[in-house]
Structure 1
């Protein structure tokens, strides 16, 4: 008799437990996290869904509710995480742009003319690198501690890209210690301009000419060497004429020649 009563009590307990599980599942299915959450949003919040015991609002509806202000907190965390990812992504984009600018400057020569100021490619790339690092630090600073940002590029590749860009910019700065840039007059009839870079180290002089076209961007069109560190353009020993294209002629002295002397400045 006692055994049958215990079996009956156990059966009743199991029935109540099954009913409780069904109510919990119904509550979880009906409850919304303030707004619908996607897998992406879960990742932004740390990649883990924390399950809480929800207290029913009433017995009939079986609708669970979060503590007051919970959904607003979640939305705030999502906005912060999204802003952090946007800033970090922008920083990586700026870094890649800086690297491309450095590569173009290194192999093809690149200057940017703003009014009467000439900005070499290494300086433009270095400035973009500084902006990228600043954005990166800000994006990491505002990131939620538990957030997991999915990286498009591995961290080591981003670091190496930044280091390589910085080293190339540093080499460019050192190479321009003894160099100066000049915007030559007159400009061409189509708005094309000529920019000259001249440098001299000991007895070796070198010059480069750039054709500046759309948006003030200029690419190298020619270069020359001068004996005894000569700077013919700085000394006024040059002539710039324009027709269908520009022609720059530079000359030295009888004992300090410049080679080559003629340079075509074709603007597309």
Structure 2
């Protein structure tokens, strides 16, 4: 059975878990600007926790395509304030810090976060692996090419599934060599992938179990769902739930979502297929 050691809290992944997204940003593609006030942060955290989230993923830097760059100090201020706020009200919360900057990760873990979620898989900060190893926390290693500003042009693969698997396999080896014990992989849906490539990855998701680490899937309300259905992000919950169900059937252990209640329902229904 796969487990994660979150600063002494042993999380067993025999049952898939849900990670709720809290973006402390003005320009995220779906909920940008919603979570800036203290009241909104606490209301969102309370709802997600009551709906069954195991983790809350707090991020202060939008990684949507062509998102505005912000300084490290501004990102740190955003996330540290939010982490402090949530933990003061809900002290048992397991917080994931969504950042590709090692110093932001370090300050967030020191503030009380217990997991690092890095969209760049260590490619945008050469100190990330050593920092996470020193902090002794689980690490979400995602596949991405380039940066949020350039990734949409870097979608040329020989075979997207094979290429992503090879990339993640090499990075897992490097992360282990650096001293990181608990690794979760994220195929990086929407990051340097076309609409067709996202569906190909989803169709082959069970192959990622061969990496022998838990798989996280983050497809919540993303543009490949919107484009396929001819809708906007606000209307993409049903499509998200449909693909989250597919991901669970194919072995995903963590769903990263904007809508916790619906994702938890997906988990419960799938678990009843094999009680």
TM-score bucket of the superposed structures, by smaller chain: under 0.3
Normalised TM-score (structure 2): 0.18
Q: Please identify which structure carries the higher strand content.
A: 1
Normalised TM-score (structure 1): 0.18
